[in-house]
Amino acid sequence: MYRWEITRAALAQRVFAIVRCTTYDEASATADTLLSAGITSLEISLTTPFALEAVTTLTRELGEDAVIGAGTVLDAASARMAVDAGARFLVSPSLDAEVIRTGHRYGIPVFPGVSTPTEVVRALELGADALKLFPASAHHPSWIRDVRAALPQAPLLPTGGVTTENAPDWIAAGAVAVGMGSALSEGDRDTVAKRAADLLARLAEATPDHLPTDPAELYDD
């Protein structure tokens, strides 16, 4: 698959799950619960012990049924190891040019972290496939609306503090998808299944707010 195809598949549900656990077994169980609940895109954070083994196992077992990526990818070395493990996309809390170059060298999309308009522009210049707004808890959905009024080409992914309650608000403000961790995965299988089904339905119905196309609209009171 081309990078744009992987990106589209990874963000198709408007949410990707973040698996960050203290053990390999916990990560495997969490991923299984999320996938069983209908989530088709998730990242395994490299802060999880034996994260790369988890990526390899999930990618091999699921094939094209889900898109498995690696998260908290901080440098070129970890990016290359994640690619070799089978990660279909790379996510980082920071903006590192070498992570983007490494992913792209092997046809893998990269979603680096940004938190300011300057970083948004820099990430776009580096060819980032989507931009992780991190931490989202430091911002309000209106931040995305305001930034995209000037930079409508920026595909933003708020992550870090996104909840099932406010996730649709981020989409309505113009986010292409949201990243969610424990807010999505906490609880038993039935609880997660019900939460995921409700969230996916609400995200599918969320409509991005109108963005000005006429320059005069930017100055309307």
Q: Which residues contact 103 (CB under 8 A, 6 or more apart)?
A: 79, 83, 89, 90, 109, 110
Q: Which residue has the tokens 């820099």?
A: 122
Q: Which amino acid is at 168?
A: P
Q: Which of 172, 174, 198, 169 is nearest to 184 (CA)?
A: 198
The pair of structure tokens assigned to 9 is 């598949």
Q: Which amino acid is at 124?
A: L
Catalytic hit among 43, 98, 186, 205:
43
Catalytic hit among 26, 132, 205, 217:
132
Burial of residue 151 (CB within 10 Å: 0-12, 13-18, 19+) is middle
Burial of residue 94 (CB within 10 Å: 0-12, 13-18, 19+) is middle
Bridge partner residues of 148 (DSSP): none
Coil, helix or strand at residue 204: helix
- In the residue annotation, 194 being an active-site residue is answered as no
Which residues are part of the catalytic machinery? 43, 132
